[in-house]
Amino acid sequence: MDRRNFLLGTGVFLGLLGLGCPAEAKDDKDKKKQKKAEKPKQPPLPFVPGSWTVVILPDIQNYATRYPGLLRLQTRWIVNHKDERRIVYVLQNGDLTNNNKKFEWQRVDREFKTLDGVVPYAVVPGNHDYPKCAKAGRNTGLNDYFPPSRFESWPTFGGTMEPGHIENNFHLFEAGGRKWVIVGLEWGPRDTTLEWADGILKKYADRTAIVFTHAYLYCDNTRLDWAKKGTKQRGNPHAYGTAGGVNDGEEIWQKLIKKHANVFLMMNGHIQGDGLGFQVSETDRGTLVNEMAVDYQRQEIGGAAWLRLLEFLPDGRTVQARTYSPLYEEYKTDPENQFVFELY
């Protein structure tokens, strides 16, 4: 088997290891729990000296509403380990709040100030960051507490699609001997947003790209696809009636991602079930894209401060995905939370 088919197959294999989505029968869930319990617990992968790290802060909405101390644990852990783990960026994949309320934004703002001037980060809005869960327009408190002016002095900040709006943004940095571009997209990105992102990826075609948004991959390890699956996949942006029109995962893939050879990772949160998904897809250019969903909000105490750590090894090709909670001071080591993939 050639390397390309092996890597594509690896993505499918990881998908098959999933705990499943809401439609799964109870008997199937019970069987999977029993099977999982029978497997010996794997040890955490070691941090490889010389690696560098991107940290994902998945759906923090419950922390904003009920458990602000958990977000404080996360941001302080990042600051305290930025040198040891060589943390170069933090990505928050939407749903910073539960209800777009002032007190929630104030809590999130307070904890993210811990990162300001220490570790750069990028944020995008989720459906819960808009009025009535994105069913009443696209105005969001995100722009009041995280306006572009908060980022403009950073040497890594590239800019935004619209003046005064942070919902669609990009960042530039260098790590591991490569130049990188991060592109963050609003909830259910509009066609104009995808056109803007297309221009950014073309302009920085010499840089390896990470693109992220709130809704893209589902817990069945396929892209959200309203045209084919409709309400069988819960949480598709098309079900919300968000102003200005939306694009779901499959539409983002067709209109944007598959056109670009430099996209290495497409990442999101938001999804139902176990909140996790992974697959590898081939672009029109013959390159491979890792597609990853990470969302722990439905776990104990609103997410238990679980972080997804992407550790880029010094070989320049291997990436370790690991999951750590500063609350429990332990790692999740099941195959959906600890695995290795490649930078192609």
Domain 3-14+52-342 maps to which CATH number in 3.65.10.10, 3.40.50.2000, 3.60.21.10, 3.30.360.10?
Answer: 3.60.21.10
- pLDDT category, 137, cuts 50, 70, 90? confident
pLDDT digit string, tens, across residues 287-323? 999 999 999 999 999 999 999 999 999 999 999 999 9
Residues of the chain above pLDDT 90, percent = 84
Q: Report the SS3 class of residue 129.
A: helix
* 155-180 core/surface letters (b: 16 or more CB in 10 A; e: else): ebbbebbeeebbbbbbbbbeebeeeb
Nearest Cα neighbor of 223 from 157, 293, 131, 148 is 293
Residue predicted with more confidence, 134 or 335: 335
Q: What is the pLDDT of residue 23?
A: 47
> Domain extents for the chain?
3-14+52-342
Q: Please state, in angstroms and rounded to a whole number, the distance separating the CA atoms of residues 128 and 61.
A: 8
pLDDT at 20: 55
The model scores a pTM over 0.75:
yes
Task: Output the pLDDT for position 39.
Answer: 58
What is the spatial distance between Cα 192 and Cα 171, in angstroms, rounded to a whole number?
A: 19
Nearest alpha carbon to residue 305 among 278, 322, 323: 323
Q: Which of 230, 156, 177, 200 is nearest to 52 (CA)?
A: 177
Strand 208-212 and strand 178-184: pairing?
Answer: parallel
In which band, very low, low, confident or very high, does the pLDDT at 134 lie, cut at 50, 70 and 90?
confident
What is the per-residue pLDDT for 10?
A: 47
- Where does the pLDDT of residue 18 fall: very low under 50, low under 70, confident under 90, or very high at 90 and above? very low
| pLDDT value of residue 62 | 97
Calculate mean pLDDT across residues 38-67: 93
pLDDT in tens, 319-343: 999 999 999 999 999 999 999 999 9
